[in-house]
């Protein structure tokens, strides 16, 4: 039951109002002076306090800050005889939630109480009703979507609803999760039907992909702005962008809020190398074999990104003064801030930030991180908390002050997995849970997207009989040997490499500094 404290030196005259509130189901306590009000507020956590401004002894304005000392988050509605500006300035400065001018009428008081006590409940109820109305429209869109742009619009809507409904009615969230899973199922079929065509032809429905991102999207931004910084955050999803975007409003205007399509596998080795080289992995392997390692080969798989970018800039005929930084550990971010002049001096600065990838892996390996990020909503919350206190946020504020245009994107996203799919392979089969490549792979063809001829989608082969398979939706690939142990260890972890909206539909954001 909602508890109200009403403080007025003429409280006896307000009995009809109090009885009306009690008839509406509210529990109302009363007192006629500020001293008692402070004691009562100290003892009871009221949902709202109604406070008369003019009382003998201790006035409402004098009582208000003392109540706020003991109940800082409790909304206080001030009742006043006057709307004089200086009086209300004092009240608002003391953080009243609202005010009402005497004489008080029930028709005025009830809406104020609902506004401040029931506001979150009312918002949640309206949001739930809005999603129920939208559910059918999204379902129809999913069945009719035939282009990557249309699927991006569907994904945007689902992310927006996921954020809006966070912490709301569990039953409506279950409906949303069902719809997201259904969307990923249909999206997987859409990718299977179109992926080879995207890689091998360039018609109007072909999306911008990893290997065309620089040429089609980023270089034109650099060409049209004096200073541009590309911030590539590994494993960065659209819902995480939505989580931190409000923190940047005071520093940047959002010029572009769009998406591009990550290539398969949606893994750093493939997607990020393709971005910086402007080439598909097979072309990188053929043109620069010494700089490409297959999954079964030992060594770092992303050692040459800066060299790939240098080659692509030169091949595109660009004469940028540019810089490249790759931040893997927190101290690298602090070091970059200490040496920020090199970024300021560049026409085009590129910063690769690996924290979210590290966080995803830590979630798999560390129980406390797993508990802190039990679902997508808590993972977003942790992302926001990290960003708020990170060198990355400091860096973005500095870039805004210096007038840099900023492009924020990623090489791929990540998806929370919970459904194991069993495969077998030899000892050289790749270890990734969302895709496998190697010889002699055995699997149920209905459960994966298979590429038996990797060259058809511009992927390299470790040997003549290598193939690739990709997991859908929230599946993860496990070997038959010791399968139960791997299932227990990896279930409910964030992984990437396969086919899902979260992994393939990658945010592409352009920010212009506030003037």
pLDDT tens digits for 25-45?
Answer: 899 999 999 999 999 998 888
Query: In residues, how long is the chain?
Result: 515
* Token couple for 401: 């002050």
Full residue range of the structural domain in which residue 39 is found: 3-117
Question: Are 427 and 446 in the same domain?
Answer: yes
End-of-domain residue from the set 134, 169, 199: 199
End-of-domain residue from the set 143, 173, 199: 199
d(CA 262, CA 240): 17
Q: Is a pLDDT exceeding 90 seen at residue 120?
A: no
Question: Are 271 and 344 in the same domain?
Answer: yes
Question: Are 219 and 356 in the same domain?
Answer: yes
Backbone angles phi, psi at 494, to 5 degrees: -90, 125
With cut-offs at 50, 70 and 90, classify the pLDDT of residue 83.
low
Question: Are 442 and 453 in the same domain?
Answer: yes
Q: Which pLDDT tens digit goes with each residue over 359-383?
A: 655 555 556 555 555 677 777 888 8
Residue 165 has a pLDDT of 87
pLDDT top residue among 475 and 384: 475
Residue 150 has a pLDDT of 98
Q: How many domains does the chain have?
A: 4
Question: Are 399 and 485 in the same domain?
Answer: no
Measured from the Cβ of residue 27, the count of other Cβ atoms closer than 10 Å reads 14
Q: Which pLDDT tens digit goes with each residue over 164-179?
A: 888 777 888 899 999 9
Residue 485 has a pLDDT of 87
Residue 368 has a pLDDT of 55
Query: Mean pLDDT across the chain, nearest whole number?
Result: 89
Residue 493 has a pLDDT of 87
d(CA 136, CA 148): 20
d(CA 382, CA 240): 10
Question: Are 49 and 172 in the same domain?
Answer: no
With cut-offs at 50, 70 and 90, classify the pLDDT of residue 226.
very high
Pairing of strands 48-52, 3-7: parallel
- Sign for the CA dihedral angle at 438, 442, 445, 447 comes to negative
Contacts 24+ apart (CB under 8 A), 13-16: 14/104
- Give mean pLDDT, residues 221-233: 97
Nearest one of 16, 11, 7 to 40, comparing CA atoms? 7
Question: Are 113 and 126 in the same domain?
Answer: no
Instruction: Please work out, in degrees rounded to the nearest 5, the angle formed at the alpha carbon of residue 175 by the alpha carbons of 170 and 176.
Output: 95
Mark 251-272 as b/e (b = at least 16 C-beta within 10 Å).
bbeeeeeebbbbbbbbbbbbbb
Question: Are 383 and 287 in the same domain?
Answer: yes
Q: Which pLDDT tens digit goes with each residue over 236-281?
A: 999 999 999 999 989 999 999 999 999 999 999 999 999 999 999 9
Q: Which pLDDT tens digit goes with each residue over 315-345?
A: 999 999 999 999 987 788 899 999 999 999 9
pLDDT top residue among 332 and 7: 7
CA 295 to chain centre: 30
Question: Are 237 and 344 in the same domain?
Answer: yes
- Give mean pLDDT, residues 476-482: 87
With cut-offs at 50, 70 and 90, classify the pLDDT of residue 119.
low
Question: Are 74 and 187 in the same domain?
Answer: no
State which H helix or E strand residue 310 sits in: helix 305-315
d(CA 271, CA 209): 9
Cβ 471 vs Cβ 434: under 8 Å = yes
State which H helix or E strand residue 31 sits in: strand 27-31
Q: Is a pLDDT exceeding 90 seen at residue 126?
A: no
Question: Are 344 and 256 in the same domain?
Answer: yes
- Give mean pLDDT, residues 152-172: 89
Question: Are 59 and 177 in the same domain?
Answer: no
Query: Residues with Cβ < 8 Å from 4, sequence gap 6 or more?
Result: 21, 26, 27, 28, 29, 46, 47, 48, 49, 50, 113
End-of-domain residue from the set 199, 234, 256: 199
Dihedral of CA atoms 68, 71, 72, 75 in degrees, nearest 10, equals -90
Region of poorest pLDDT, from 320-329, 352-361, 471-480: 352-361
């Amino acid at each position: 039951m909602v508890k109200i404290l009403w403080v007025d030196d003429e409280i006896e005259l307000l009995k009809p109002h109090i009885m009306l509130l009690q008839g509406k189901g509210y529990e109302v306590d009363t007192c006629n002076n500020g001293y008692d009000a402070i004691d009562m507020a100290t003892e009871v956590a009221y949902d709202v306090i109604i406070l008369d401004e003019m009382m003998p002894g201790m006035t409402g304005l004098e009582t208000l800050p003392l109540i706020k000392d003991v109940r800082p988050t409790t909304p206080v509605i001030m009742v006043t005889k006057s709307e004089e500006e200086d009086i209300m300035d004092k009240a608002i400065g003391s953080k009243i939630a609202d005010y009402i001018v005497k004489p008080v009428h029930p028709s005025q008081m009830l809406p104020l109480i609902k506004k401040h006590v029931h506001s979150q409940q009312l918002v949640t109820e309206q949001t739930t009703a809005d999603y129920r109305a939208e559910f059918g429209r999204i379902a129809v869109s999913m069945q009719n979507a035939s282009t990557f742009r249309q699927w991006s619009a569907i994904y945007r809507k689902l992310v927006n609803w996921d954020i809006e409904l966070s912490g709301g009615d569990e039953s409506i969230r279950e409906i949303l999760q069902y719809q997201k899973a259904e969307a990923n199922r249909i999206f997987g079929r859409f990718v299977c039907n179109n992926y080879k065509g995207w890689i091998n032809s360039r018609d109007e429905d072909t999306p911008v992909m990893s290997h065309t991102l620089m040429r089609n999207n980023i270089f034109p931004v650099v060409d049209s702005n004096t200073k541009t910084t590309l911030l590539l955050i590994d494993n960065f999803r659209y819902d995480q962008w939505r989580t931190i975007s409000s923190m940047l409003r005071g520093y940047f205007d959002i010029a572009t809020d769009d998406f591009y399509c990550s290539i398969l596998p949606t893994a750093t080795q493939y997607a990020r190398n393709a971005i910086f080289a402007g080439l598909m992995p097979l072309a990188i392997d053929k043109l620069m074999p010494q700089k490409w390692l297959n999954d079964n080969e030992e060594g770092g798989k992303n050692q040459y990104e800066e060299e790939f970018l240098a080659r692509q800039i030169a091949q595109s005929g660009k004469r940028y003064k540019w810089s490249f930084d790759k931040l893997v550990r927190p101290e690298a971010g602090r070091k970059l801030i200490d040496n920020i002049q090199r970024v300021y001096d560049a026409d085009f600065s590129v910063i690769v930030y690996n924290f979210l990838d590290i966080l995803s892996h830590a979630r798999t390996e560390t129980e406390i991180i797993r508990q802190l990020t039990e679902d997508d909503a808590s993972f977003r919350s942790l992302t926001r908390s990290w960003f708020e206190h990170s060198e990355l946020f400091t860096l973005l504020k500095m870039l805004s002050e210096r007038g840099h245009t900023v492009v924020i994107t990623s090489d791929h996203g990540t998806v929370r997995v919970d459904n194991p799919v069993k495969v077998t392979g030899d000892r050289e089969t790749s270890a990734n849970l969302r895709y496998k490549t190697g010889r002699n792979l055995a699997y149920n063809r209905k459960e994966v997207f298979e590429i038996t001829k990797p060259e058809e989608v511009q992927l390299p082969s470790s040997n003549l009989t290598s193939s690739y398979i990709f997991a859908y939706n929230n599946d993860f690939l496990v070997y038959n040997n010791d399968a139960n142990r791997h299932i227990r260890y990896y279930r409910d972890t964030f992984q990437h490499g396969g086919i899902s909206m979260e992994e393939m539909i990658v945010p592409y954001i352009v920010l212009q500094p506030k003037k």
